[in-house]
Structure 1
Amino acid sequence: MSTTPPSKPSKLPPFDPTDPIGVDDLLGPEDLAIRDTVRAWAADRVLPHIAQWYESGELPGIRELARELGSLGALGMSLEGYGCAGATAVQYGLACLELEAADSGIRSLVSVQGSLAMYAIHRFGSEEQKRQWLPGMAAGEIIGCFGLTEPDHGSDPAGMRTYARRDGDDWVLDGRKMWITNGSVAGVAVVWAQTDEGTAGAGIRGFVVPTATPGFSAPEIKHKWSLRASVTSELVLDGVRLPADAVLPGATGLRGPLSCLSHARYGIVWGAMGAARASFEAAVDYAKTREQFGKPIGGFQLTQAKLADMAVELHKGILLAHHLGRRMDAGTLRPEQVSFGKLNNVREAIEICRTSRTILGANGISLEYPVMRHATNLESVLTYEGTVEMHQLVLGKALTGLDAFR
């Protein structure tokens, strides 16, 4: 056996403040190209306008943005066939990070389209459903939404009241869904409903609902103080009649919607770090130029301590996202591991935003800087796709083998 130690580089690479632990070394040329393409699109199409959109509480031109995102291959990005890009999980994650570095609402548009609505059809739909909907959704010509949460049932979807009954060969849906991203601009909705085909949640089925169907409406939710540059709606289903082939044949019970949520949560693991990075970079830039007591505040120990701690948590979170992405690409990523990532990264991202705000002082609450916008957006991200408490209980059950949900 050879005892010759591995060769070492003759000179260490310089320290990169934007990548202090060298995470980019894990990326290949195609990964970097996708990341840089999405970053450039966001810088051109979102960042110049996002403060105005946020302040006005609207996302104008959402259909045009969706088509542009489709042209980038960002919609249903990690799905195969039907016009989808077939990218790796890591590449999809990098796109989510760059989109959320612009705004959580933009990443939510992409996540709901690809990881919820398109993923549900791709994984559980019939071949006819896939061919009918996925190409148009991948191109951004058709916007989709995902109806699971209800006014009285969020963390406990098994108790949903939306009901689908048989009427001859048809299905008739009645109920309401709440906090639905893309709802009022969607051309198709994936709606989950109770049926008589099982008990205790086992009879839950998914339905592909064209939003032009009589009885379907999606009034937009106003007066939000988070995710303001995002379309959020209620779904109202009042005797919505669908043909027998509207049901997703591959999904029965909660396994279907929960697997979609796990896929969407994975994108959040990355996206939250984008919001954190944007806030951290704003704090670093400000600390190097803002002067107090005769010198930049970045030269004071307390400010440097804040920056160091934020950098540690930011890049640990990005490294965790990479690790989970590699596991997803290998087919070994478990839902509990996604909960681990979502719980950690969103929680740490909010703390980074809050600490960044303290460095910016009063300027931190101004829309001239991205920090407060990201902080308020992340309050929603912390709640949707599973609250902190739900992910703590998922991990608690996995660690102890004891179910504390009920």
Structure 2
Amino acid sequence: MTTPTDLVNVESLLSPEEIATRDRVRAFVEARIRPNIAQWFEEAIVPTELFKELADEGLFGMHLHGYGCPGKTAVEYGLAMQELEAGDSGIRTVVSVQGSLAMSAIYKHGSEEQKQQWLPRMARGEVIGCFGLTEPTAGSDPANMLTTARRDGDEWVIDGAKRWIGLASVAQVAIMWAKVDGTVRGFIVPTDTQGFTATPIKQKLSMRASIQCDISLDGVRVPADALLPENPGLKGPFMCLNEARFGISFGALGAARDALEAALSYAKERKQFAKPLAAFQLTQQKLVDMALRLNQAQLLALHLGRAKDAGTLTPQQISAGKLTSCRTAIDICRTARTIFGGNGITGDYSPLRHANNLESVMTYEGTEEIHTLILGRQLTGEAAFS
């Protein structure tokens, strides 16, 4: 498949296997997401019927090895996220929540028994997971979470609240983070456990084809072996967040590429003053600037993917990728919208939908400000978070 916006031949840096993965997911998006996404977004429909299809495409836990997971490379995973987000950020988020957050938490922090119990079924899409870290009063500062867990005989009792938790109302299992004597720990909580309530958040102006929920945990009792035994403290959830942030470094650029391609196609067809918009100098400047910024960000994402596959990727580099890709993508989508004039505010064209979604993507898995301060600390040695 050709990519008309690839001015610097980024594709030449990909292996045949990587190109095959990209093209397979692109074809899935073309067939199953693109024809329906405008309606899903307008009507706030979450296409849960796609979940099993996403699993069948090998997209759940795609970069995890063993336990029925596909075991693909980081670059292949990133390219798949780029193609899914070219369809819609909400659909990519489904895969991120399932694989990079819920499944990764069990994979990285769970016991062998927990991995065997949950991961194969999650990879097949038989069990959907969610990941409960953010709280109504603790978003960027999870160290101040109020959710607690206490031991009571052979059980743990969890009390608290979470907010903006993807997939929670359709999930069968939740990874819940709570403080145990002041230390953050993770728990595997079946969502049908008494006292667990997930309520979808309504009236969203962004990510309308996905689910984010409030969760109430009222005396939720789980067995002793529900505790994730490895990596206590904030290291546990942050290891998972870095997986999701890496995926966004690629994914957001899919939304940008789709917006640019839509604008390029429209500019070639739409005539004003007896010639196509693409023939005007100001339009060409917009198109060129968008394409160059996209290619630069794609090269950075690919570099980070190679580093992840080599085992040398650092959290600071992930922040650089997430921050750069989100900034680049939302700017491209906003600029692309201008080429459509008034037509650009309708669901017939993708740029404004992508821009709306990217307002959320810029916020979750670390806000723009948080990633700026992570990089500021790396540059200066000074932590300026408070």
Structure 1: how far apart are the matches of 2:330 and 2:355?
6
Q: Does 1:353 align with 2:333?
A: yes
Given that 1:225 and 1:376 are in contact with CA atoms closer than 8 Å, whether structure 2 keeps it comes out as yes
CA shift for structure 1 position 303: 0.7
| 1:70 to 2:55 alignment | yes
The answer for the alignment partner of 2:375 in structure 1 is: 395
Q: Give me the whole-angstrom Cα distance separating, in 2, the residues matched to 1:139 and 1:109.
A: 14
Q: Out of 132, 139, 153, which is 1:147 matched to?
A: 132
Counterpart AA for 1:95: A
1:205 to 180, 185, 189: 185
Correspondence for 2:110: 125
Q: Which has the larger radius of gyration?
A: 1
Q: Aligned partner of 1:44: which letter? A: A
Counterpart amino acid of residue 130 in structure 1: K
Work out the CA distance in 2 between the residues paired with 1:299 and 1:95. Answer: 34
CA distance in 1, matches of 2:32, 2:3: 27
The answer on 1:57 being equivalent to 2:44 is: yes
Within the candidate set 2, 14, 36, 1:27 is matched to 14
2:131 aligns to what SS in structure 1?
A: strand
For the 8 Å contact 2:138–2:144, the answer to whether it is kept is yes
Does structure 2 conserve the Cα–Cα contact (< 8 Å) formed by 1:58 and 1:231? no
Question: Which consecutive unaligned segments of at least 5 residues does structure 1 have?
Answer: 1-14
- The answer as to whether partners of 1:105 and 1:230 remain within 8 angstroms in 2 is yes
Runs of 5+ in structure 2 lacking a partner?
A: none
Question: Does residue 1:36 correspond to 2:36, yes or no?
Answer: no
Aligned match for 1:135, one of 120, 126, 129: 120
Distance 1:336 1:312 in 2: 24
1:281 has 2:261 as partner: yes
Give the distance between the partners of 2:296 and 2:308, measured in 1 at CA. Answer: 18
Q: 1:17 Cα deviation (Å)?
A: 3.5
CA distance in 1, matches of 2:283, 2:16: 36
Superposed CA deviations along residues 182-228 of structure 1, whole A, max 9, x for unmatched, are 010000000100111xx4xxx10000001111111111111101000
Alignment of 1:93-112 (within 5 A): 93-112=78-97
Alpha-carbon RMSD across the aligned residues, in angstroms, is 1.0
Q: Does 1:248 align with 2:233?
A: no
Equivalent-residue separation in structure 2 for 1:34 and 1:285 (angstroms): 25
Residue 18 of structure 1 and its aligned partner are, at CA, apart by: 3.1
Q: TM-score, normalised by structure 1?
A: 0.94
CA contact (8 A) 1:206 1:251 kept: no
Q: Does 1:266 align with 2:253?
A: no
Secondary structure class of the residue paired with 1:383: coil
Q: 313, 318, 321: which one pairs with 1:338?
A: 318
Kindly state the Cα deviation for residue 42 of structure 1 after the two structures are TM-superposed: 1.0
Q: Which residue of 2 aligns with 1:185?
A: 170
How do residues 378-389 of structure 1 correspond to structure 2 at under 5 angstroms?
378-389=358-369
The answer for the alignment partner of 1:367 in structure 2 is 347
> Percent identity among equivalent residues?
61
1:156 aligns to 2:136 (yes or no): no
Q: Deviations over 1:297-333 (max 9, x none)?
A: 1111111111110001111111111000000000000
For residue 339 of structure 1, report the CA deviation from its aligned partner.
Answer: 0.3
Residue 164 (structure 1) shift = 0.3
- Paired with 1:322 and 1:156, the residues of 2 have a C-alpha distance of 30
Instruction: Supply the AA of the counterpart residue of 1:251.
Output: N
Residue deviations 1:276-305 (CA, integer Å, cap 9, x gap): 001000110111111111111111111111
| Residue 225 of structure 1 pairs with residue 225 of structure 2 | no
Give the aligned partner of residue 101 of structure 2.
116
Q: Which amino acid aligns with 1:39?
A: R
Offset of residue 30 of structure 1: 1.1
Cα distance in 2 for partners of 1:42, 1:59 equals: 15
Q: Distance in 1 between matches of 2:81 and 2:3?
A: 23
Q: What CA distance in whole angstroms lies between the structure 2 residues aligned with 1:254 and 1:238?
A: 23
Q: Provide the residue aligned with 1:4 in structure 2.
A: none
Taking structure 2 as the reference length, the TM-score comes to 0.98
Aligned equivalents of 2:59, 2:224: Cα separation in 1: 32
- Is the partner of 2:151 in helix, strand or coil? strand
SS of residue paired to 1:99: helix
Look up the equivalent residue of 1:327 and give its one-letter code: A
> Which residue type is aligned with residue 220 of structure 1?
P
1:341-374 deviations in whole A, cap 9, x for unaligned? 1111101100000100111111111100011110
Residues of 1 paired with 2:324 and 2:10: CA distance?
18
Kept after mapping to 2: 8 A contact 1:137/1:143: yes
Shift of 1:169: 2.3
How far off is 1:385 after superposition?
0.4
Alignment of 1:75-90 (within 5 A): 75-90=60-75
User: What is the letter of the counterpart of residue 35 of structure 2?
Assistant: P
CA contact (8 A) 1:195 1:205 kept: yes
Shift of 1:16: 7.2
Partner of 2:155: 170
Q: Residue 6 of structure 2 contacts residue 291 of structure 2 at CA under 8 Å; is this kept in 1?
A: no
Residue 48 of structure 1 pairs with residue 35 of structure 2: yes
